[in-house]
């Protein structure tokens, strides 16, 4: 019988205090795994983003950082955020907090636009419910009011037509029936909804007025409120930036994070941009040692694996394409990107998904040593191509995905097509 493996203090803390689940950000990238993961599932918590310079790796990680640090609730307004804390290790000194604030602000505006449209739809449904309720009440009491509910006016032959405006002014009642002229009206998309008098709507909703039920007090935020929300999302040490200038500093910085990980369960994401920044300097610094890259990357890979196993934290790591791709796949890639029409089965399979994914993934070349190669991780490969007419296409393939996803990078940030 094998002796039971003892649990370290760090593993105990990680088991008792679970990290924030990041799978709600993007379930395809951040897989849902238990907080205390085994070595088998640790590949789901180490995500490598590989690609050439300018393909969109940094924009992609800024997109996920903004979603992670956005609070879930702000002044009564429910947001699809997590309120997690992020450590950003910058190896190339290109991190811009101003750019992160812009990405975060764009996401907030998109969320508010979605909430506004949802509230508009809910308000339309409630107005229809009010119409049905009042019309049903009038029919039940056997009235023949000249002006019907919600703008239904009876003409000489008994037909009804819908008025084109809504006055919200109660007309005279006949036989004890409420008479209103409240027809079709467009909702003001930039401000608030026009509402009928509360005394009439309360009868239709069991005492709950449309003003109370159509939206809470935060359908829209002012510019100052959006700025305050951005500052709160980036404040309280939610995003901490560490800048390093060598592989040794990178390892020491990672080593110093153990205390933070053991005391702060909100720290759920560690970003390294980029882990390959010191490849050439390390290689040139020790030309006589062919294993210099392995000796530099081995302790870094080991500490990352330890943190994932002990604390359940997620690592998001970018790696630049510094080494040439395999030549036998380059010809196929160029043939696909040239856009030449072909009726062959192979070309059709490339354009439809699986073959294209294999070609994109084949562009990855491992050059950071055996330790990094053996580190269990999920790999995303980003590519950028330009066709004959100058149209830019960006695509990403993953070792865990059956196909390819296209995306765009603009002033509004990273977005899947």
- pLDDT given for residue 131 in this prediction: 57
**Cα distance between the two ends of the chain:** 54
Phi, psi (degrees; rounded to nearest 5) at 32: -80, 115
- pLDDT given for residue 3 in this prediction: 57
Torsion over CA of 318, 323, 328 and 332, rounded to 10 degrees? 50
Q: Which residue has the tokens 């609070």?
A: 71
Give the 3-state secondary structure of residue 189.
coil
pLDDT tens string, the chain, 417 residues long: the values are 455 556 666 555 555 457 888 888 888 888 765 444 444 456 678 999 999 988 999 999 999 999 999 988 888 888 888 889 999 999 999 999 999 999 999 988 888 888 777 666 655 565 566 556 555 554 455 544 443 433 333 344 444 443 444 444 444 444 443 333 433 343 343 344 444 444 444 444 444 444 443 344 444 688 888 888 898 888 878 899 999 999 999 999 999 999 999 888 899 999 999 999 999 999 998 888 888 999 999 999 999 999 998 898 999 999 999 887 655 555 555 655 555 444 444 444 444 455 788 888 888 889 999 999 999 889 999 999 888 888 888 999 998 888 899 998 887 778 887
- pLDDT given for residue 333 in this prediction: 59
Q: Which residue has the tokens 């040490």?
A: 237
| R_g (Cα) of the chain, nearest Å | 29
- pLDDT given for residue 168 in this prediction: 43
* Preceding amide of 274 cis, omega within 30: yes
- Where residue 9 falls (left for φ over 0; alpha for ψ -120 to 50; beta otherwise) is alpha
Long-range pairs for 245-251: beta carbons < 8 A, 24 or more residues apart: 245/91, 246/278, 246/281, 247/278, 247/282, 247/296, 247/297, 247/300, 248/296, 250/89, 250/91, 250/275, 250/278, 250/300, 251/299, 251/300, 251/303
**What is d(CA 274, CA 53) in angstroms, rounded to the nearest whole number?**
11
Domain with CATH 3.40.50 in the chain: 9-91+244-416
The CATH class of 9-91+244-416 is alpha beta
pTM value is: 0.69
């Amino acid at each position: 019988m094998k002796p039971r493996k003892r649990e370290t203090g760090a593993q105990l803390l990680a088991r008792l205090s679970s990290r924030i689940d990041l799978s709600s950000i993007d379930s395809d990238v951040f897989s849902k795994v238990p907080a205390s993961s085994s070595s088998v599932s640790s590949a789901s918590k180490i995500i490598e983003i590989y690609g050439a310079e300018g393909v969109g790796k940094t924009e992609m990680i800024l997109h996920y950082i903004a979603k992670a640090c956005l609070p879930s609730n702000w002044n009564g307004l429910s947001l699809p955020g997590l309120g997690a804390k992020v450590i950003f290790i910058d190896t190339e000194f290109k991190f811009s907090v101003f750019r992160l604030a812009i990405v975060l602000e764009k996401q907030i505006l998109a969320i508010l636009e979605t909430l506004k449209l949802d509230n508009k739809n809910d308000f339309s449904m409630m107005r229809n419910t009010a119409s049905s309720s009042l019309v049903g009440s009038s029919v039940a009491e056997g009235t023949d009011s000249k002006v019907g509910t919600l703008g239904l006016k009876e003409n000489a032959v008994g037909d009804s037509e819908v008025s084109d405006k809504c006055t919200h002014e109660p007309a005279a009642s006949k036989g004890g029936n409420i008479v209103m002229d409240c027809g079709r009206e467009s909702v003001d998309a930039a401000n608030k909804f026009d509402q009928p008098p509360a005394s009439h709507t309360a009868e239709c909703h069991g005492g709950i007025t449309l003003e109370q039920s159509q939206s809470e007090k935060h359908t829209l935020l002012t510019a100052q409120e959006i700025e305050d929300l951005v500052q709160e999302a980036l404040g309280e040490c939610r995003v901490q930036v560490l800048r390093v200038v060598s592989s040794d500093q990178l390892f020491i910085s990672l080593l110093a994070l153990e205390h933070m990980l053991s005391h702060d369960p909100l720290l759920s994401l560690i970003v390294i941009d980029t882990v390959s920044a010191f490849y050439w300097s390390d290689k040139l610094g020790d030309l006589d040692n062919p294993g210099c890259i392995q000796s530099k990357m081995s302790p870094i890979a080991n500490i990352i694996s330890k943190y994932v196993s002990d604390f359940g934290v997620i690592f998001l790591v970018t790696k630049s394409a510094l080494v040439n791709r395999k030549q036998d796949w380059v010809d196929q890639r160029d043939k696909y990107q040239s856009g030449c029409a072909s009726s062959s089965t192979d070309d059709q399979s490339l354009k439809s998904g699986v073959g294209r994914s294999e070609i994109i993934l084949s562009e990855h070349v491992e050059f950071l040593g055996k330790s990094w190669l053996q580190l269990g991780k999920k790999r995303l490969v980003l590519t950028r191509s330009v066709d004959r007419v100058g149209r830019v296409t960006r695509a990403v393939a993953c070792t865990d995905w059956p196909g390819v996803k296209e995306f765009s990078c603009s002033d509004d940030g990273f977005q899947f097509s």
